[in-house]
Structure 1
Amino acid sequence: MTTDPTTGTDRFTTLNGLRAHYVEWGQPDASPVVLLHGLRSYARTWEPVAAALADRHRLIALDHRGRGDSAWDPAGEYTTEAYVRDLEQFADALGLHRFVLVGHSMGGTNAIVYAARHPERVRLAVIEDIGPGSSASGEGAERIRRELARTPREFAGLAEARAYWRGVRPGISAAALDSRVANTVRQAADGRWVWKFDLDGIARARLDPDPSGQVDLWPHVEALRCPTLVLRGDRSDFLPTAVCAEMATRQPLLTWKEIPGAGHYVHDDNHAGYLATLREFLGEHRDRR
């Protein structure tokens, strides 16, 4: 059965005891591409990218635990280790033996760690605007900490929610804003609009100063065994060019490119540029199995 090339098909599975939601586009027997979203995002953030690639690929976007339509973790385990364990079960559940792995921000961290641990499964990796140290220090890391600490717990209406996201991301397109509002808030029984994602649990994990909960990406970057493309928004405050250059120096299989007119959310900020670069990379390595 072919999934809807525009809106995709919603599916559910169970990962480490939690109900997990994912969306599929394209032909089920086509070359699989797994898409991993960022810290406060959701599977359908990839909808425009997936719809554009659905003629040649099977696109699979996962709602990480605590986001979208996936279950919240009552233990608040929102760490790289937990996400990677989920991804391991996800690949097994769907029978994904060789696939392309694409990740934005937090999803990029998860993609790097998974690809390093499972070189037999990941044939290509695309990492969007994150690298070693990005989440620990720097202007972008501090911005995200401030935003998490100041995020309102509820909204009186959708207009208020839209204004919040517009304030956080002033340059967001109308389409991306519509998607973000539709997929990150829901109406409670009393009429208030509340977050669909586990804001308190995710914030606690992200703001926890304990270094044991953080991952050093350098060993994982060095352990990669597949061609890897890092995409940086040229206006990003999160991924310095110096880190991109060092990643390429330490890992010969890794290349990086800047996408003009984009900040941290590269696939939103310059969709055409992101898509063209992604297609070029996939085309260059289409014969790699």
Structure 2
Amino acid sequence: MIQPNETFDGTFPFAPHFSEAPGFRMHYVDEGPRDGNVVLCLHGEPTWGYLFRHLIATLRPTHRVVVPDHMGFGKSATPRDRSYWLQDHIDNLERFVLALDLRDITLVMHDFGGPAGMGLAARHPDRIRRIVSTNGPAPFGQADLAERWAANALVSPWFQWILKAESEGRLEKVLEELGYNILSTLKLNGFENHALINDTWLRAYGSPFATPAECAGAIGWAKGFATGAHRIEVPDEAAQRAIQSKPALAIWGEADHTLHAEHFLPSFSTLFPHAAVHRLPGAGHYCLEDAPEEISALILQFLQRT
């Protein structure tokens, strides 16, 4: 686990906060005015709040930006007596949000942060004000969801690898060394801005996974997909109507090798038919690394406009 005050040579200069509400020590960033509109940023695999550092800096003068690290990621603890399925992360997020009493939330979701955030929205639609997807699926009762996930898995090298590795009993062995193979994992999923790569950047993304025991979160995301252990939260009719009425925005790096735009953007547009969709040529799965200034500007404009 990363030390609480680690800033990675000043690239992550945000005060650490911790909550015990989810039943473990969850780290989060909480920047900006306490009475500002809440922007809740949710990371995925295998990243942490560091992914949102540019967006935090852009929004904190006017908005309250809250960025938790999921269990087993970033500066949060990796308890050994917990499971790491999607539903566990939704439970953790719900306890965290209720403990801080966050309301009028704009969700900014990346990767597995999408299903986690939409799970929160299904349980507490009254707390959600806007939805922003940044290369993050937004599953919320769409009829074609299973077919789109299956079709995407057929053309995604990462999903193909985890299915094969799990079937051969190699998944844990490889992902337990994530601290050493973090760059190849990011590149496999779609990371294009190679100018960012230096020792500090590699340390920021690799150090949460320094030992096999600290890789439980990353293993859980992958293994849950491979074994079917993840359970997507299904909204009731009232939640469906409430969330569909919210302003929404999709931003998608088209060089994403893992979550392909042709499979996930139609699903997003089915849920939010009037939402703007911005496709970013040359940006990959980790679009917030590949195009941080453009994405930060798009989200700020969306917040001001809605």
Settle same-fold status: TM greater than 0.5. Answer: yes
Output one character per residue of 1:41-93: Cα deviation in whole Å (capped at 9) or x when no partner: 11121111111211111111110011112122434522222222212111121
How far apart in 1 are the matches of 2:125 and 2:175? 41
1:181 aligns with 2:203: yes
**1:239 paired residue number:** 260
With a CA cutoff of 8 Å and minimum separation of 6, indicate the structure with the bigger relative contact order.
2
**2:3 paired residue number:** none
**2:152 paired residue number:** 138
**1:23–1:62: 8 Å Cα contact kept in structure 2?**
yes
**2:192–2:283: 8 Å Cα contact kept in structure 1?**
no
Give the aligned residue type for 1:85: D
Output one character per residue of 1:100-145: Cα deviation in whole Å (capped at 9) or x when no partner: 1111010011122222332211111111223345655425654245
**After alignment, is 124-133 or 242-251 more displaced?**
242-251
Q: Which one has the bigger strand percentage?
A: 1
**1:119–1:226: 8 Å Cα contact kept in structure 2?**
no
**After alignment, is 105-114 or 245-254 more displaced?**
245-254
**1:16 paired residue number:** 22
Q: Give the secondary structure class of the aligned counterpart of 2:269.
A: helix
User: Which of 276, 281, 305 is equivalent to 1:260?
Assistant: 281
1:215 aligns with 2:236: no
**2:176 paired residue number:** 153
**2:133–2:250: 8 Å Cα contact kept in structure 1?**
yes
**2:247 paired residue number:** 227
**Cα offset, 1:28, TM superposition:** 2.5
**1:5–1:54: 8 Å Cα contact kept in structure 2?**
no
**1:161–1:181: 8 Å Cα contact kept in structure 2?**
no
Name the % identity. 23
How far apart in 1 are the matches of 2:215 and 2:54? 21
User: Which of 8, 23, 31 is equivalent to 1:25?
Assistant: 31
How far apart in 1 are the matches of 2:287 and 2:80? 32
Q: Give the secondary structure class of the aligned counterpart of 1:88.
A: helix
**After alignment, is 71-80 or 263-272 more displaced?**
71-80
In the TM superposition, 1:82-231 aligns within 5 A as 82-131=88-137, 132-133=145-146, 136-139=150-153, 141-146=156-161, 149=171, 151=174, 153-154=176-177, 161=181, 164=184, 167-168=187-188, 171-175=192-196, 178-185=200-207, 196-198=214-216, 199-210=218-229, 213-215=230-232, 222-223=240-241, 224=243, 225-231=245-251
When the two chains are superposed, the root-mean-square deviation of aligned CA atoms in Å is 3.3
**Cα offset, 1:187, TM superposition:** 8.9
**1:103–1:128: 8 Å Cα contact kept in structure 2?**
yes
Output one character per residue of 1:193-242: Cα deviation in whole Å (capped at 9) or x when no partner: 768442444443232145xx342779899542421212211222313335
Question: Normalising by the residue count of structure 1, what TM-score does the alignment of the two structures yield?
Answer: 0.79
- Count of aligned pairs: 273
Output one character per residue of 1:171-197: Cα deviation in whole Å (capped at 9) or x when no partner: 244436643532432696xxxx76844
Q: Which one has the bigger helix percentage?
A: 2
Summarize the Cα distance change of 1:76–1:245 in structure 2 as closer, same or farther, 3 Å threshold.
same
**Cα offset, 1:274, TM superposition:** 1.2
**After alignment, is 246-255 or 5-14 more displaced?**
246-255
Summarize the Cα distance change of 1:235–1:195 in structure 2 as closer, same or farther, 3 Å threshold.
farther
How far apart in 2 are the matches of 1:228 and 1:121? 15
**1:183–1:196: 8 Å Cα contact kept in structure 2?**
no
**1:111–1:127: 8 Å Cα contact kept in structure 2?**
no
**Cα offset, 1:244, TM superposition:** 1.9
How far apart in 2 are the matches of 1:280 and 1:234? 21
**2:104–2:127: 8 Å Cα contact kept in structure 1?**
yes
Unaligned runs of 5+ in 2: 1-9, 138-144, 166-170
